[in-house]
Every structure is written in C-alpha cells, then in structure tokens.
Amino acid sequence: MARLGLVLAMALCLTISVFPDTTTAQLKHNFYGKKVVQQKVKETFVTIPATLRLFFHDCFVNGCDASVMIQSTPNNKAEKDHPDNVSLAGDGFDVVIKAKKALDAIPSCRNKVSCADILALATRDVVVAAEGPSYPVELGRRDGLVSTAASVHGNLPGPNDNFDKLNKLFAKNKLTQEDMIALSAAHTLGFAHCNKVFNRIYNFNRTHIIDPALNKGYAKDLRLAWPKNVDPRIAINIDPITPKKIDNIYFKNLQQGKGLFTSDQVLYTDRRSRPTVDSWAKNSAAFNAAFVKAMTKLGRVGVKTGHNGNIRRDCGAFN
C-alpha cells in the first residue's frame, strides 16, 4: 500500500500541465496526498467544508493561485485576513500544508507541485470523502505572487446576495448560471453563524417579521437553535437534512423553503433558476455531472502560468 502510494505520487510529480503556456505535458488522476486528506478528514470533519471553501475563495479572488494561503506580514495584509474570511477555518490550510509535506518528502517531488494544485487536488479528495462525485483534476497552476486583503472586496458572494448579483459575480469568473447553481450546492455542507440569518427569522421587513420564503417549521427550528440572545459563535449546519454529504438533498430543501441563506433560497424563488433546482432535486446524476463540470471550470479561473507565478516552498509565504 505504501509502495503504491509512492508510485502514484511519483507519477504525479512527473506529470505536467493541461493549462496553456506551460512547458510541460499532461496529466490524469492523481492520488498523491490522498491518504493525508483521508487521515485529516477522519480527525476533523470540518476539513471537508473548510477545504472546499478555501478553494472557492482562492479561485474567486485573483484566480486559483493559492494567494489565499499567504500569511500577512507587517508590510502586507493578505487575502485571508479580509473580514469576509469568516468561514475560512484553519483545517483547510492545514490539509494543504500536510499534503505538501508528504509530497516534498519524496525527493523527485520536492517543490514540483504548486500549492494551488495541491489545494485543487485536496478539494477533489474532500468532495469524494463527502460522498460527492469524483473527477480528474487539471493541474499545472502556478502559485501567485500577490495576495492582498484589498483584492477580496466585492469578489465573494454573500449570504444576502440576490439572484442578479450572484449571476454577475460568477459570470465575472466565466461561470454560467448553471455553474452558479451547482456550486451553491456546496452549502450541502458546512456551518453558518446566526448573524448571517438573524434578519430572516427576527426582523425581515416592515410587513413580515419572518422571511415568507422560509418554511414555517424550519423557521421555528432556527429560532429554537438561535434564540434572540444567542451567543453569536453558535453555528448550525447549513443543510438541515444531510449536513455531511454532498448530494442533491440541497435542492429538495430549497423546494421546501429550507434554504438557510437568502442566496440559497433565491435559487428556488427566482423563476430563472427554479427549473434547474427542480430537475436536480429529481435527478442526482444530473446534479453530479453539473457539479463536476462547474468544479472543473472553477479550477480554471485566473490560473497563473509561466512567469506570472512560481512554485512556493512554503504555501504560507512567497519564495
């Protein structure tokens, strides 16, 4: 088993880029640090949503170039220290650092694989660990040379975003409305803090105290979990039914008014996206295919090649 792992890891180190402009060749499926990911997931389930979130955040801000992993220095406030980072948990960073360490321990692999590629691979592995679909990961990203908190502003979707804003943000990254809906299903995992949802259950607008798009029973459950004076650190599962699985239950929840964030529920309330929600709620294979397609496209966003990037020795610091 150990030997097999090594062979696969070496195969990875010899494989090259599918992205244009890079000198090297091609790649297929890679299993390199998969064991590291599986071990880490066993220790902490949060690794799964944390890694997925980290990849998404990385790609949406300045492209998939591991700029989100850079630590701030006295002279530079880095991407990860922008206030919009609330849902970035340390476990996503940790799994990438551990997978890199495992790769770097193999002499022929040392500093051959970028942190951005390792994050992309780890993301696929956590998707599989959450029983989502597997897919080949395109490789050949280089690590970015810039990471600033200022670059985050306005580039990440927020829990109260409306449909047009969501579409616009995704379109900016060459992702379609379908991609946006498929990637929203990442909310089939993960936790939310009450401040993002409080207005929906206590103070919606002048005519409705509770958002009428919310399922009444679900709104009651939310109020029980989050009484008015709740400790704001108390988090609950975003998906009330299957919080540990990537599956199409997310869409069934939306049909029942159980989308936790406004940005989830709007996918069902808006006429433009409801047919997609209905069809994926019925057909999990169609959702899986759309999710793989969207994840692959997400992994292409703003990829750095050639002199626009390098391979970091330490994912948290520029070389």
Least Å distance, CB 196 to ligand NAG, is 16
> Which of 269, 279 has the CB closer to ligand NAG?
269
DSSP label at residue 193: E
User: How many other C-beta atoms can be found within 10 angstroms of the C-beta atom of residue 312?
Assistant: 24
> What is the Cα–Cα distance from 268 to 139, expressed in whole angstroms?
35
Please list the active-site residues.
Answer: 57
> Which of 33, 92 has the CB closer to ligand NAG?
92
> What is the Cα–Cα distance from 186 to 196, expressed in whole angstroms?
17
> Which of 68, 185 has the CB closer to ligand NAG?
68
> Which of 93, 291 has the CB closer to ligand NAG?
93
Least Å distance, CB 90 to ligand NAG, is 6
Least Å distance, CB 103 to ligand NAG, is 23
- The 3-state DSSP class for residue 270 equals coil
> Which of 88, 277 has the CB closer to ligand NAG?
88
Least Å distance, CB 67 to ligand NAG, is 13
> Which of 81, 278 has the CB closer to ligand NAG?
81
Least Å distance, CB 82 to ligand NAG, is 6
User: How many other C-beta atoms can be found within 10 angstroms of the C-beta atom of residue 202?
Assistant: 16
Do β-strands 235-237 and 191-193 pair in parallel, antiparallel, or remain unpaired? antiparallel
Contacting residues toward ligand NAG, per CB under 6 A: 80-81, 83, 85, 88, 90, 205-208, 212
